A and B are shown apart, each in its own frame.
Chain A
Amino acid sequence: MNKVYACIDGLASTAGVIDWAAWSAQRLNTPLDLLHVLERIDRPLVTDFSGAIGLGAQEALLEELSVLDAQRAKVALEAGKRLMADARARATAAGVASVDVRLRHGELLDSVLEMEPDARLFVLGEHYRASGASRIHLDHHVERVIRSVKRPVLVATGVPFAPPTLFVIAFDGSPTSRTTVETVARSPMLKGLPVIVAMAGEDTAQAQRQLEEAWQTLATAGFEASMALLPGEPEDVLPAFVKARGASLLVMGAYGHSRIRQLIVGSTTTTLLRLSEVPVLILR
């Protein structure tokens, strides 16, 4: 459990992923591993609707398909190598001492699960982000990784990286979110940065007390912490709050609700992840 893994794919958010991963690796004082997975494209290249099979049809088809696959894979491999070389250069320039690269075949999730035992943090970017109102579906790669791994995951966005100056913890008083606060307090990653513990909901005595406790935890750990209690639903108010305060990172716990509830109403985590314009750090 001693490495930061940056999962890069060469799309818009790649630069952000590398920068955030490099910054995290330096803060955590761990090596950085860049992971790029060459995924299979299942769309067939051969289309022959003649329906006729002649002498040695099976052998001929296998030959044809494997030659095409090989060509496609070679191109992907070459592109992957180039991507990795650029990424390594960027991470080294950002000041990370130990950068390793891994180029793998298969599915992103499989590789991530394989790496998990020695991972301290995964950084990945959204592969796909629709603009404006059509932002309904969270990229399934990101969601699958978040749901499957137990380690923290930082989801970078297309926003260019700048060293963070302020971060927000999404807090709801649940055991998960208390653990989140404790984890942040313990970790060297965000140490020394100003933090706002933000809670969405009714202004009740209980909410005040829970917020107070969270603040206390962070203050004891030496954080310059402040609190905010916002009326409304988390997914409505938090993204706007983060933006208004100019915070560079949103921290939250993952998937507190039951699976059934998630399936029917969707989870707050997924929604926040989708709506947040700044990178989100998700803790278990």
Chain B
Amino acid sequence: MKTIYSSLRQDWFSNVRGDLLAGLVVALALIPEAIAFSIIAGVDPKVGLYASFSIAVIIAFTGGRPGMISAATGAMALVMVLLVKQHGLQYLLAATVLTGVLQIVAGLLKLGTLMRFVSRSVITGFVNALAILIFMAQLPELTNVSWVVYAMTAAGLVIIYGFPYITRAVPSPLVTIVVLTGVAMLLELDIRTVGDMGQLPDSLPIFLLPDVPLTLETLRIILPYAATMAVVGLLESMMTASIVDELTDTNSNKNRECVGQGVANIATGFIGGMAGCAMIGQSVINVKSGGRGRLSTLVAGLGLLVLIVFLGPWVKQIPMAALVAVMIMVSIGTFSWDSIRNLRKHPPSSSLVMMATVVITVATHDLAKGVFVGVLLSGIFFAHKVGQVLRIDRSLDAEGRLRTYSVVGQVFFASSEAFINSFDFREAVQKVRIDVSRAHFWDITAVGALDKVVLKFKREGAEVEVLGLDEASTTLMDRFALHDKPGAVEKRMH
């Protein structure tokens, strides 16, 4: 009771003024993004707007990271493009619900803790790839268009980055949109507007079941997309949570966040919204504007709904060029520019992991694949580095008959080759003593390597003695620890 009460108070009402103002700033900033991401995904703007409302509001209650903003995102939109193109909106809604189910399962299985295997370089790569993809998604709006669109976009960027020098009390992306919409309407410019991109919300969202046949065939279609969206959504949410943790110097509950994202996506699928997740850019904007608690997320979601329902007719008039300018800002803000400066400072392996994540993601348009390759590469590089922590000292007794090798360090698949190569089999000695008491044998490759060394010496006619194998092989015991007696590894070896 004590903890629930105090955390409720802390999460919701410790910063009411800051949360209200920041929530409104975020609500305003969410409108262009939600529309732009719907357009990336190939659905009507209302799908993204409803999703952003629903996800933000639900996450305010169910999320594990107060102050983090979740809504319809670019990362998720990029995953669903093909599904929408081939099967249509209804399958997207079903996939959204399934994504939520998978995320809840992940949360209950406490997979949030798996994030520790995703290294800093992979996270940077993910963020950079996301920024590049968001930028690339704007290019269709900028190709084969009249000079007016370029002029509008440029003017938009000037306002976005210049207006904060005049005042920081009003969101500059909003000013951009209002000014550019006004100019386009006054001059009756013939350029594309949001209204040309599809239907906008004209009412409050209503509950509806996705109109798909409940068959295995449907599952076969949506499962790959749902699984990828679940992974991408959780990855971005966990990353964003870490970023907000770092910015505010507080902790978050990662597994609760997984379940919360799942609940939000299920509900969103049932009101006709697309899947979403946490947003890095918006969360940074929220923290920057003074938002810290759950109230900021709730205000962002509710504010968004009120704005779109009341401003619907005006939203239709927003020129696409204004949205493109906002999205260019988002991609610039999302990109980690430090990572370019750090390319030469960081170890080459880290830079390579980062670059590989970016290249794979941009090439496949699939953030999950990029992260997978990044994690794999960092694992390999790590194994390689740890494999070098191996030293073998040799000494010869006075008569030159006993050769002692003492092994210090980690012996496993990546270092077993080096381990074998550091013994001198050509040397003719009577007795060889291998002291492994300060070494760790991590896997059967390592045990096999020792086996091979012993056998080779025996074949050369030397007497072999292995010291301290019990200590060395305790790391191997994880599976056998309960029923194996000391020395069992030795027995298994011979």
Complex Cα gap A147–B3 (Å)? 11
A212 at the B interface (CB under 8 A): no
**Which residues of A are found within 8 Å of B174, using beta-carbon distances?**
51
Complex Cα gap A16–B284 (Å)? 45
A209 at the B interface (CB under 8 A): no
A261 at the B interface (CB under 8 A): no
Complex Cα gap A259–B336 (Å)? 51
**Which residues of A are found within 8 Å of B243, using beta-carbon distances?**
58
A50 at the B interface (CB under 8 A): yes
Contacting B284 at CB < 8 Å: which of A42, A57, A144? A57
Closest to B28 in A: A51
Contacting A48 at CB < 8 Å: which of B160, B168, B329, B330? B168
Stretch at the interface among A61-69, A96-104, A115-123, A235-243: A61-69
Complex Cα gap A44–B15 (Å)? 8
Stretch at the interface among B97-105, B132-140, B201-209, B288-296: B288-296
Complex Cα gap A42–B288 (Å)? 14
B164 at the A interface (CB under 8 A): yes
B281 at the A interface (CB under 8 A): yes
Across the interface, do B338 and A51 meet the contact criterion of CB distance under 8 Å?
A: no
**Which residues of B are found within 8 Å of A144, using beta-carbon distances?**
2, 6
Contacting A57 at CB < 8 Å: which of B160, B171, B333? B333
**Which residues of A are found within 8 Å of B337, using beta-carbon distances?**
55-56
**Which residues of A are found within 8 Å of B329, using beta-carbon distances?**
52-54
Contacting B25 at CB < 8 Å: which of A40, A51, A57? A51
Closest to A52 in B: B172
Across the interface, do B171 and A51 meet the contact criterion of CB distance under 8 Å?
A: yes
Within A123-160, the residues touching B (CB, 8 Å) are 140, 144, 147-148
Minimum C-beta distance from B20 to chain A (A): 11
Across the interface, do A58 and B284 meet the contact criterion of CB distance under 8 Å?
A: yes
A263 at the B interface (CB under 8 A): yes
Stretch at the interface among B74-82, B246-254, B482-490: B246-254
Across the interface, do A57 and B288 meet the contact criterion of CB distance under 8 Å?
A: yes
Within B321-377, the residues touching A (CB, 8 Å) are 329-330, 332-334, 336-338
Across the interface, do A47 and B18 meet the contact criterion of CB distance under 8 Å?
A: yes
B173 at the A interface (CB under 8 A): yes
Contacting B289 at CB < 8 Å: which of A51, A259, A263? A51
Across the interface, do A53 and B285 meet the contact criterion of CB distance under 8 Å?
A: yes
What range describes how many residues of B lie at the interface?
A: 35 or more
Across the interface, do B173 and A47 meet the contact criterion of CB distance under 8 Å?
A: no
Across the interface, do A69 and B249 meet the contact criterion of CB distance under 8 Å?
A: yes
Minimum C-beta distance from A223 to chain B (A): 35
Across the interface, do A47 and B6 meet the contact criterion of CB distance under 8 Å?
A: no
Complex Cα gap A60–B287 (Å)? 12
Across the interface, do B336 and A58 meet the contact criterion of CB distance under 8 Å?
A: yes
Within B126-173, the residues touching A (CB, 8 Å) are 160-161, 163-164, 167-173
Contacting B21 at CB < 8 Å: which of A46, A49, A59, A66? A49
Closest to A55 in B: B337
Across the interface, do A51 and B172 meet the contact criterion of CB distance under 8 Å?
A: yes
B3-43 near A? 1/0 per residue, CB < 8 Å:
00010001000110010011001101100000000000000
Within B250-294, the residues touching A (CB, 8 Å) are 250, 280-281, 284-285, 287-293
Across the interface, do B171 and A50 meet the contact criterion of CB distance under 8 Å?
A: yes
Minimum C-beta distance from A172 to chain B (A): 23
Closest to A53 in B: B333
Closest to A260 in B: B1
Closest to B174 in A: A51
Across the interface, do A61 and B284 meet the contact criterion of CB distance under 8 Å?
A: yes
Complex Cα gap A52–B164 (Å)? 8
Contacting B15 at CB < 8 Å: which of A42, A66, A69? A42
Across the interface, do B171 and A259 meet the contact criterion of CB distance under 8 Å?
A: no
Contacting B164 at CB < 8 Å: which of A50, A62, A65, A69? A50
Contacting B287 at CB < 8 Å: which of A54, A61, A66? A61
Minimum C-beta distance from B346 to chain A (A): 15
**Which residues of A are found within 8 Å of B29, using beta-carbon distances?**
51
Within A23-61, the residues touching B (CB, 8 Å) are 40, 42-44, 46-59, 61
Complex Cα gap A196–B99 (Å)? 68
Contacting B285 at CB < 8 Å: which of A42, A51, A56? A51
Q: Which residue of B14, B288, B291 has the most chain A CB atoms within 10 A of its CB atom?
A: B288
Closest to A66 in B: B249
Across the interface, do A53 and B284 meet the contact criterion of CB distance under 8 Å?
A: yes
Q: Which residue of A44, A49, A57, A263 has the most chain B CB atoms within 10 A of its CB atom?
A: A49
Across the interface, do B15 and A49 meet the contact criterion of CB distance under 8 Å?
A: no
Question: Contacts A49-B170, A52-B171, A53-B329: A44 and B246 contacting too (C-beta < 8 A)?
Answer: no
Closest to B17 in A: A43
Closest to B333 in A: A53
Across the interface, do A49 and B330 meet the contact criterion of CB distance under 8 Å?
A: no
Complex Cα gap A42–B10 (Å)? 9
Closest to B293 in A: A42
Complex Cα gap A56–B28 (Å)? 22
Closest to A43 in B: B15
Contacting B246 at CB < 8 Å: which of A40, A47, A48, A62? A62
Across the interface, do B247 and A61 meet the contact criterion of CB distance under 8 Å?
A: yes
Minimum C-beta distance from A35 to chain B (A): 19
Q: Which residue of A57, A69, A147 has the most chain B CB atoms within 10 A of its CB atom?
A: A57
Across the interface, do B333 and A54 meet the contact criterion of CB distance under 8 Å?
A: yes
**Which residues of A are found within 8 Å of B247, using beta-carbon distances?**
58, 61-62, 65
Across the interface, do B290 and A54 meet the contact criterion of CB distance under 8 Å?
A: no
A237-253 near B? 1/0 per residue, CB < 8 Å:
00000000000000000
Complex Cα gap A51–B28 (Å)? 9
Question: Contacts A46-B288, A65-B247, A140-B6: A52 and B28 contacting too (C-beta < 8 A)?
Answer: no
**Which residues of A are found within 8 Å of B1, using beta-carbon distances?**
259, 263
Across the interface, do A43 and B168 meet the contact criterion of CB distance under 8 Å?
A: no
Complex Cα gap A50–B172 (Å)? 5
- 9 A-B pairs in the complex with CB atoms less than 8 angstroms apart: A40-B249, A51-B25, A52-B329, A52-B333, A53-B285, A53-B332, A54-B332, A58-B333, A65-B248
Closest 7 CB pairs of A and B: A53-B333, A51-B171, A50-B164, A47-B290, A44-B290, A50-B168, A57-B333
Given A51-B26, A65-B287; 9 other pairs, CB 8 A cutoff: A43-B15, A43-B18, A50-B167, A50-B171, A51-B25, A51-B28, A53-B281, A53-B333, A57-B284
